[in-house]
């Protein structure tokens, strides 16, 4: 069984962006033109984006959110369009989008190890499990062990999820079968047929049970004729 952490990642429309740590924020930028015109420092709020690669503290991009970057295809794309869900979260006042199991809830890492990994821009078990190459080597001698532990943890969780789903499916199937069997039994015994009770009453009064499958109306009429007035 192969676990693919990208299946649970924050939506990113461009391949390769799935596990980048992206944060939009407001920064004060000096407006050089207004500063020259007014003779004192003038600042304005600018929407910015910070992009980090998990495990690589050296590779960080800080740029205006509305500025453009060049994709591998050669297309020019604004950062706010490259990371639309992250930008939407920023505009709605939410924090950076980290989807998955936070490292602080991870059962195989100590608090110190979590702090060290977060300092390397790694915040979730999914990010850790998907690491490789230079970023993984940057974690030192324990990096490979942590990555394998994260991958094993997620694979086990996926197996448990599949087992639970199978058990729920079997339970639902069993319930449907039992309901069908009960309905069939009622149909065979006539428990739900009002004619059964009418035939019982006629048999009590006459000593003979009506034969065949007369209608409810016919049986009610027969019973009414057999019963004394006022009953």
Q: In the structure, how many helices (H) and strands (E) does the chain have?
A: 9, 5
pLDDT tens, position by position, 57-77: 777 889 999 999 888 888 899
pTM of the model: 0.43
pLDDT tens, position by position, 121-151: 788 888 888 888 888 888 888 889 998 988 8
Distance CA 174, CA 156 (A): 27
Residues 6+ apart with CB under 8 A from 230: none
Distance CA 178, CA 200 (A): 29
């Amino acid at each position: 069984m192969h676990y693919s952490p990208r299946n649970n990642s924050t939506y990113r429309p461009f391949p390769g962006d799935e596990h980048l740590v992206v944060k939009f924020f407001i920064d004060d930028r000096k407006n050089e033109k207004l500063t020259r015109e007014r003779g004192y420092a003038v600042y304005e709020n600018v929407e910015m984006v910070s992009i980090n690669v998990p495990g690589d503290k050296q590779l960080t991009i800080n740029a205006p959110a509305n500025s453009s970057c060049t994709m591998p295809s050669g297309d020019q794309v604004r950062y706010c369009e490259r990371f639309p869900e992250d930008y939407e979260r920023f505009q709605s006042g939410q924090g950076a989008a980290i989807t998955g199991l936070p490292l602080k809830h991870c059962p195989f890492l100590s608090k110190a190890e979590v702090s060290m990994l977060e300092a390397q821009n790694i915040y979730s078990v999914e990010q850790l499990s998907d690491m490789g190459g230079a970023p993984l080597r940057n974690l030192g001698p324990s990096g490979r062990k942590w990555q394998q532990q994260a991958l094993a943890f997620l694979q086990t969780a996926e197996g448990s999820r599949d087992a639970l789903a199978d058990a729920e499916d079997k339970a639902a199937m069993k319930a449907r079968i039992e309901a069908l069997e009960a309905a069939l039994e009622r149909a065979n015994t006539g428990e739900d047929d009002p004619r059964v009770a009418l035939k019982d009453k006629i048999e009590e009064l006459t000593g003979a049970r009506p034969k065949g499958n007369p209608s409810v109306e016919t049986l009610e009429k027969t019973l009414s004729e057999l019963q004394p007035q006022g009953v």
